[in-house]
Amino acid sequence: MESAKNIDFSAIKLIIFDLDGTILPLHKRFYAVWIDTLTKFNLPNLSWEEFMYNIEQDTLMNYIDPSRRQQFMKSFLSAYSKYTSPDDTIIPGAKEVLIQLKKAGFLLALATGRISSITELANEMKSHKLDQLFEVITAQKAEDVKFGTLVSKENQIKYILTELNISPSQAIMVGDYITDIHSGKAMGLKTIALLSSRVSLEILKKAGPDMILESINSLPQVIFSESISKVEEVK
């Protein structure tokens, strides 16, 4: 666990989570859809080893011509939402962490970069029995990208804060990728980066999160030990 700055968890009411790589496993689904999209765009495929190396170095987009990247990512993110596999599951321990945080009184919300309708996303959460844990779920809705405009994660965060009447200083963004951290910081939230998608520690550090943890399973220990310390300070 790598801690960059302190977070006063006693001031936090809302925790916003990314989905893929944070709550749901990333790599098998990501690889399958990425390869399908490369094929669709007549681009060379990557081996599993090449794929994982480029995940770690955050260099997957180097294989896509800049002029085609937006079109490629719209195709990829749309297909990702519709992909199903018998291997689809939850990161071990993630559901228990979410239940623990909810029981402790935190509001939980979901912000994902997938291009998906809210109904599609809600149905997938229901299939994992996660739907009742989140106050709000958001995605890059398919109907919003017909004309080439992607819904940023910043806008998703703004929507969640507005819906729940929470100020940025009362919220944390938790995710496994630099976009999650940049978006959270841009909206004035504290941010926690996770190493669960295997993006390198050095790259995540450059995004400037307030804290870096191994995975979602590290959250309760950090949050509740911090809360206990605050109580002891008051005493």
Better pLDDT: 74 or 167: 167
Kindly tell me if the per-residue pLDDT of 232 is higher than 50: no
Among 33-42, 85-94, 178-187, the least confident range: 85-94
Let me know if 224 is exposed, middle or buried by CB neighbors in 10 A (0-12, 13-18, 19+): middle
- What is the rounded distance in angstroms from the CA atom of residue 21 to the CA atom of residue 67? 27
pLDDT digits 0-9 by tens, 146-168: 666 668 899 999 999 999 999 99
- What is the rounded distance in angstroms from the CA atom of residue 50 to the CA atom of residue 184? 30
Give me the pLDDT at residue 76, please. 94
Give me the pLDDT at residue 211, please. 95
Q: Are strands 2-3 and 107-115 parallel, antiparallel or unpaired?
A: unpaired
H helices of 5-68, in order, are 27-40, 48-57
pLDDT digits 0-9 by tens, 164-212: 999 999 999 999 999 999 999 999 999 999 999 889 999 999 999 999 9
Better pLDDT: 88 or 154: 154
Give me the pLDDT at residue 226, please. 62
Buried b or exposed e, range 39-72, using 16+ CB within 10 angstroms:
eeeeeeebeeeebeebbeebeeeeebeeeeeeeb
Kindly tell me if the per-residue pLDDT of 230 is higher than 50: no
- Please, what is the average pLDDT of the chain? 89
Half-sphere exposure of 106 (CA within 13 A, CB side): 28
Whole-number percent of the chain with pLDDT over 70: 91
Q: Which of 148, 163, 159 is nearest to 115 (CA)?
A: 148
Kindly tell me if the per-residue pLDDT of 2 is higher than 50: no
Kindly tell me if the per-residue pLDDT of 38 is higher than 80: yes
Give me the pLDDT at residue 148, please. 66
Kindly calculate the radius of gyration of the chain based on its CA atoms and give it in whole angstroms. 18
Give me the pLDDT at residue 147, please. 65
